Amino acid sequence: MSPIDRYRDDGPLARALGRLLGPVAPPAPLLLLAAVAPLIAVIAVEGTGASRGLAAAVVAWAVLLGGASSGRPGRLKTRWAEPALLRTIEFVGLAWIAGLESESAYPAAFALLAVLTFRHYDLSYRLRQVGVGPAPWVGALAGGWDGRLIVAFVLLLAGVLEIGYFVAAGVLAVAFTAEAVTAWRRSGPNATGLDEEGEIA
């Protein structure tokens, strides 16, 4: 798996869509721009007043095209944009879905986004410094960007989004932090990229 594939943080559904649709799909950057455009447009026009049906269509479209992009990587010089566009889809989507619930759900969304920011920072910098990414079980627990969007929408429909976000943030924070600390401790003194005197190795 290439570093960009790790940074994407695709879940099982996104990878399956990539295998199925990737061979006949346009390059990933184009797919991801087409995936994020309706999300931004609906937020701009409807805001948090969008109907549940419209929200479902927007989320489904984003997951479909974003997942398909996992099987159709762009050119090397544009691949850097894939994780950035996926983070836009995920973070904007999660915050918007919280707003569809109520304004009181925004603190829960902030907590979840903070935990996911740690996840993506860890995916990027641990791979650079240590040479290996987080353990596979952490990725399975996290569910991928696609899984998190779908679960968020299901929580919205069930009327338990606020508590669901808080619970997810708590569980994932403990798991991500514990696994990261354990991995860094196992990696030895140069895991941070510094020598024993604190200078850049």
What are 123-181's pLDDT values in tens digits?
A: 888 877 777 778 889 999 999 999 999 999 999 999 999 999 999 999 999 999 999 88
What pLDDT score does 190 carry? 53
Q: Is pLDDT at 71 greater than 50 in this prediction? A: yes
Averaged over 39-66, what is the pLDDT?
97
What pLDDT score does 10 carry? 96
Write phi, then psi, for 186 (nearest 5 degrees).
-75, -20
- CA 48 – CA 81 distance, rounded (Å): 28
Domain ranges of the chain: 3-192
